[in-house]
Structure 1
């Protein structure tokens, strides 16, 4: 039998570096995500409702015989949302007396011509509803935010608040955009 001695090649510099520092790199892979945990928990509390309806509460708005409490989900300018353009999220809660009377609640910039053009519909329970509204860049900063509520009895009631009161950062963003022809 022929016996040959096998010679092990010397490890490359990259291999030596990896074996020397792999523990420290793995520790970093655990610690880096921990730095993002406070923002994660703040966002989770916001979406659960532990921090109220949103980051900026607009207040209670009377709409016919009912009342609705509005809030901006985030106190920031409209965010780009792909092909939709710029969007803004609003949250709302119905008054305890009118939760069973209201069938649908809508939100729109500018007065709706009919119930078919009432705007985006709020989704969720009456305790916490949400709506994502498209904000065109050519919107007049002096426009009003219209709330349309439809009752189970067929009645429709509307109310408006100035966009400046509803979302000052959106108005500042619109002023920066400028009105396009």
Structure 2
């Protein structure tokens, strides 16, 4: 009569036996939040304003008698919004002495022809306003961003800043887009 050999189980005596993968998966699920929490808190600080105006501050801009701080809200390429085109976000913070005198602030790519075509309007409180600036398809590298402010007394003042200074990432994106057209 032949004797049957029983193969020893290499996992015998270990917790879970052959089912170790749930243990490893639970360790992974515990580590994932620890890796993602710093980015979450950075985003919360940015959107709540405790992290400043934006990711990249451009400094102080004088527009007529008023002074403001301008910042690139997020240092990334313009976001594709489908049929609406590409959008880039900027933040503006008015100085306290200027905040009571400014009625509205606008931004656009290229010089506005009239106040009716002043561009996208900033929204939010005067010390931290945001704008979602549309980037037209015809925009060439080297364009300028025009900031228009309207006062409560009816006065209108404008200032411009080079797009390459305001957002080098957008300037590089435009150069790449021009090469693919």
TM-score (norm 2): 0.82
- 1:23 offset after TM fit, Å? 5.8
Q: Which runs of 5+ in 1 are unaligned?
A: 1-15
Distance in structure 1 (CA, Å) of the matches to 2:107 and 2:158 = 10
Report the Cα offset of residue 136 of structure 1. Answer: 2.3
Change (3 A) 1:47 1:160: same
CA contact (8 A) 1:138 1:178 kept: no
Q: 1:21 to 1:178 in 2, by over 3 A?
A: closer
2:31 aligned partner: 31
- 3-state SS of 1:97 partner: helix
1:51-87 per-position Cα deviation (integer Å, ceiling 9, x unaligned): 2211111111111111111000112221222332211
* SS of 1:147 mapped into structure 2: strand
Gaps of 5+ in 2: 1-15
In structure 1, the partner of 2:50 is: 50
Give the aligned partner of residue 104 of structure 1.
104
- Aligned counterparts, 1:114-129, within 5 A: 114-129=114-129
The TM-score normalised by the length of structure 1 is 0.82
Task: Name whichever of 28-37 and 103-112 sits farther off.
Answer: 28-37
Whether the 8 Å CA contact 1:137–1:174 is kept in 2: the answer is: no
CA distance in 2, matches of 1:166, 1:97: 24
Residue 143 of structure 1 is matched in structure 2 by 143
**Cα shift at 1:162:** 1.2
Q: Which residue of 2 aligns with 1:161?
A: 161
Residues 34-67 of structure 1 deviation map (CA, whole Å, 9 limit, x = unaligned): 3211110111111122222111111111111111
Give the root-mean-square deviation of aligned CA atoms.
2.3
Please state whether the residue corresponding to 2:99 is helix, strand or coil: coil
Is 1:60 matched with 2:60?
yes
Preserved contact between residue 138 and residue 174 of structure 1 (Cα < 8 Å): no
